[in-house]
Amino acid sequence: MQRRKFLQQATLATAGVTILNFPVFGKLAPSNKVIVAVMGVNSRGAYLAKSFSQLPNVEVAYICDVEQGAIKNGLDALKDAQRKPIVVSDIRKLVTQKDFDALVIAAPDHWHTPAAILGVQNGKHVYVEKPCGQNPHEGEMIVTAMQRYGKLIQMGNQRRSFPSLIEAVNLVHNGIIGNTYFAKGWYANNRTSIGYGKVVPVPATLNYELWQGPAPRKPYQDNLIHYNWHWFWHWGTGEACNNGTHEIDCCRWFLNVDYPSKVTSTGGRYAFKDDWQTPDTQVAGFEFGDKKAITWESRSCNIYPVEGAGRGFIIYGDKGTLVNKGGGDYAIYDKDNHLVKAVKSEVVADPSNPVSANGNLDFYHFSNFIDAVKGETKITSPVTEGSKSVLLCHLANIAQRVGRTLYCNPANGHIIDDAEAMALWGRTYEPGWQPEI
């Protein structure tokens, strides 16, 4: 099927989780089949399992989770698949299975890098959702693992595979808005309070030991699982890595910059008083020498839009401006704000949808990964690239936590002359669980 028809089908999809029949990518020979396993299938992971199972010549052979309700969600997502998956709860056992090619990771953030390392060490290609690590050091480890073991690691910053945004970035890099020097991204949601959790016995349906995995042990509390771990520094990475990764990545991509020289962050937990530790309101700034800059605004608990959209980014140049409203859309204006070019997407980005904010446009990214596993193309977001964008998000969080400006080495992003901030570069691990490359 021609790409044009594929795009038409994708843009007609809703922003929900309905899966359409997508065209063939790659060859149909049985020998070209790709077998995958999915780790973490409560919400986004169940969607990933269903999505990958509907790609041509792809089968989901295993699902991996530590909670019975999540396992049911994963099995339900695959109830119409031709192949019925086997459930393996322990990722350490799953990766030793010889009969699958790729590991898809949608587990909590503190598992991203350790699981990816286990995957490539056992000969698996890896698709890992953002942020690909719980701290900057894990970003460095996952890059080293990909290089050392010679397997693909694709990060789930799906916009890197949207044809419309690939077209847009090429136009910008070829000068359609002149010299680009500033970009801003934003994200808004209407999250409610998580309250104050109580330490209670671990539910019989949950293997909390495996859920914690590499993280040092903490008592179980009743407002942590399945989603609210995002807002605890011990396991999560806040809204900056949870959602900011996408727009910050696009800003960095379009500006064609790598590591910052200066990072600032303002904000806090303002909307509610509860156990939530990370900022619900944050404005982060990134400078790249004296040439370019990025800002990112997050409002987790106030959904009032910017430019009419709950998320998106703007690229500013000396000859014009490009505006994206969160999905596969973009509009280009000249320096007098006259519209030069506009590409619309029927998929309206929904920042409050935790499963699939861009609907079936994500299929471009999934298909790119599978085609790369087959050797038919290159991945659009290798973790060598994706981790650079995630590092910006981590640096914003570190600047927020220490309460001051960070000065960084523009060659690698390392924080300069700030021992307290650099202490947050990595983390401690539960004895016996630390990832080793």
Cβ atoms within 10 Å of 344's Cβ, excluding its own: 14
Residue 53 to residue 34: CA distance in whole angstroms? 10
pLDDT confidence tier of residue 280, bands split at 50, 70 and 90: very high
Q: Where in the chain is the domain with CATH 3.30.360.10?
A: 160-195+221-352+383-422
Q: How confident is the model at residue 5 (pLDDT cuts 50, 70, 90)?
A: very low
Q: Where along the chain do the CATH 3.40.50.720 domains lie?
A: 3-158
pLDDT at 2 over 70: no
pLDDT per residue as tens digits for the range 85-132: 999 999 999 999 999 999 999 999 999 999 999 999 999 999 999 999
State pLDDT tens for residues 343-397: 998 777 787 787 887 878 999 999 999 999 999 999 999 999 999 999 999 999 9
Q: Answer whether 402's CB lies under 8 Å from 413's CB.
A: no
Taking residue 258's Cβ as centre, other Cβ atoms within 10 Å add up to: 16
Write down the CATH superfamily of domain 160-195+221-352+383-422: Dihydrodipicolinate Reductase; domain 2 (3.30.360.10)
For domain 3-158, the CATH class is: alpha beta
Confidence grade of residue 27 (pLDDT, cut at 50, 70, 90): very low
Is the whole-model pTM more than 0.85? yes
36 within 8 A of 68, measured Cβ to Cβ: no
